[in-house]
Amino acid sequence: SSPHTPNLLPDEDIGWFIGIYLSEGCRYRGSISIASHISETSRVTRLQQIATAFDGHCKVGNIKGNGMTIRIESPMLAAFIDTYVNGERAIGKHLNPRCWARSNQFLKAVFLGFLEGDGSWDEKNQRWRLAITRNHALARDFRTMAARLGWHLIFKQSYSTLKGKKFPTFRGEVRLSRNGHHN
């Protein structure tokens, strides 16, 4: 069957919003919070535009050191999260099956939104590097998205250390095209 592309839910904006929420977002006291670095002003601008387009508002709050929280108030954007994301915390958040009925353009925007939040671009090797908490459902979602998009994704089990504690993670890389290497 053909992909579901609702006319009033632009793939690029809604997909990107879902991706950035998966990587950096949470719900807090009825609002949507997106953790960011203070230098990520283009993220703030894009979130403000999306919030305004969906009858909401967006503002920066809680600046601590180099970090800031972007707060979004929009019942419609909250409904999009409820529609396209299952789970509430990093260990449990993953895509709702409804996402698989959407277009590859939507899935690409989700993936790129996530990478903007939790990935780092390695220019020399033409790849994105990423690490996520060891969330098997989300890792499966990324493998499925990469396969649909024709991207190459590798995840390996690893551990990260924060404040002296070890946490299970997946570390990986994403190449947006095959490099032609025999392996």
pLDDT tens digit string along 27-82?
A: 988 899 999 999 999 999 999 999 999 999 999 988 889 999 999 999 999 999 99
What is the distance, to the nearest Å, from the Cα of residue 71 to the centroid of all Cα atoms in its chain? 16
Per DSSP, what are the bridge partners of residue 113? Answer: none
Whole-prediction pTM value? 0.91
